[in-house]
Amino acid sequence: MGLLASTQTGFMPSRSPDYRFPGLLGEVVTLCKVGSTVYSREDEHEFRSWLGAEIDALTARTGTPADLIQQAISLPLPEQEMLMVPLIYLNHMWRQGSPALTAASGPSAMPAAFDALVTTLAESTGILPRFNQLIMTMRAWCIDGLPCGEHVSYRDLTDLNRVWPYFWLNGVSQSELDFYRAFFAVESWGVPVYGWGCLALECAAADDADLGALAMRCIHAALRNVYFCVRHLIPYVNPVEFRKIQLTGGWINDELNGAASGYQLPFMLMLDALFQVEFSHPGAYEAREHGLRFVPKRWQEFFRTIRELSPALRPWVRERQCPELTDAYQRCIELLTVYRTLHRYLAGQVLRGATTTGRAFTSSESNYRTFMNEIGALVKDTAALGIQDRIERRP
């Protein structure tokens, strides 16, 4: 539990991401950084021609594609996992070609050398080679003043003015920065939820209402920080630029059918598990299960354990009949409901005409209605966890 949910970094890495690779493998990182600029010109022919030539030149200097693969799999496993990140970005850009195009569908393969490299590393690391929120939010970041590989603190992670994408998807722009920080804020400001959530469950097991109420109040405080950060940042995101970045990430009708879904983020997985939110809408359930394929197995086991622990919070709070505990629990449920209502409204404004869930729709209006219905059901599922006959709270 301590390794998976550090009180300083949560599920973020405890050290700042380090993409310094030996020899020619370091050029993969350079290609990814330069590639986003070429990709942002919105000319798929230019981008693929440029990347193909760069890959040919790199493999020629390496010797053979097999030599490049051997260098990669000789790295320690954590470094192999990091190398997967720029390769996944490049694979995404290669398949899409231009962010201005409709989201691509069907399979994809980069030039043979890099296709073989990403396939081999995917097998070695267990990471599905598709762009998703975990790759972007949890791994591809840097912080001003914090060298690569240095220990990270909660203070570092929550200083959003210092946070930048390590890799850009559509060139360097303020819109992409606002988009990135809005997602990053969920995980960085949400860090305390893991430790306090575990404490709340321990209190339920020990029947400690006073400490349980404190844990609930701290969960509420963290969720409130996330709520206000997101409410402040999301309106700055340009909907057109958002679609270019997020919506092209939902790989439709390929062999893995990837999805850049917020359901993959540990913060929401923790809250859903802690409060045992049920996904009653089959579409929302399918989207979440679809996204979970990209979540590391050890994380899934952690959240499964949290969800299955007994006594669960809601029955304990109901039976305990402690006004302070009931009040703290209810405030968490109400704020989580408000947070999801905000997400439904804001996401609905920018998602018109496309999808992030890797699904095909007959029309943009059909997609919009489906999304709003799914999230609307999830809002109701969350609100239903409240304790309606609670003792009246003071304002």
Last residue of a domain, one of 73, 108, 132: 132
Here the CATH number for the domain that contains residue 307 is 1.20.58.480
Whether residues 192 and 72 fall in one domain: no
Whether residues 92 and 236 fall in one domain: no
Whether residues 231 and 344 fall in one domain: yes
Q: Is residue 351 part of a domain?
A: yes
Last residue of a domain, one of 81, 108, 132: 132
Whether residues 343 and 263 fall in one domain: yes
Residue 174: Cβ-neighbour burial (10 angstroms; 0-12, 13-18, 19+): exposed
**Cα separations in angstroms, 344 against 237, 282, 371, 395:** 15, 17, 8, 27
The DSSP code sequence of 220-268 is HHHHHHHHHHHHHHGGGS-HHHHHHHHGGGS-BSSSS-----GGGSHHH
Whether residues 218 and 300 fall in one domain: yes
**pLDDT at site 395:** 40
Whether residues 110 and 204 fall in one domain: no
Structural domain that includes position 121: 23-132
Whether residues 265 and 362 fall in one domain: yes
pLDDT tens digits, one per residue of 307-355: 998 889 999 999 999 999 999 999 999 999 999 998 887 777 766 655 5
d(CA 177, CA 93): 18
Whether residues 241 and 178 fall in one domain: yes
Q: Is residue 5 part of a domain?
A: no
Number of domains the chain contains: 2
pLDDT tens digits, one per residue of 209-229: 999 999 999 999 999 999 999
Whether residues 74 and 185 fall in one domain: no
**pLDDT at site 359:** 66
- Could you give the residue ranges of the DSSP H alpha helices within the chain? 26-39, 44-62, 65-73, 77-96, 112-125, 133, 154-157, 174-189, 192-206, 209-233, 239-246, 266-274, 282-292, 297-308, 313-320, 323-351, 364-383
Whether residues 178 and 44 fall in one domain: no
Whether residues 182 and 118 fall in one domain: no
pLDDT tens digits, one per residue of 160-196: 999 999 999 988 988 889 889 988 999 999 999 999 9
Q: Is residue 140 part of a domain?
A: no
Query: Considering the chain, what percentage of its residues have pLDDT values greater than 90?
Result: 63
Q: Is residue 11 part of a domain?
A: no
Last residue of a domain, one of 106, 132, 158: 132
Q: Is residue 144 part of a domain?
A: no
Whether residues 269 and 356 fall in one domain: yes
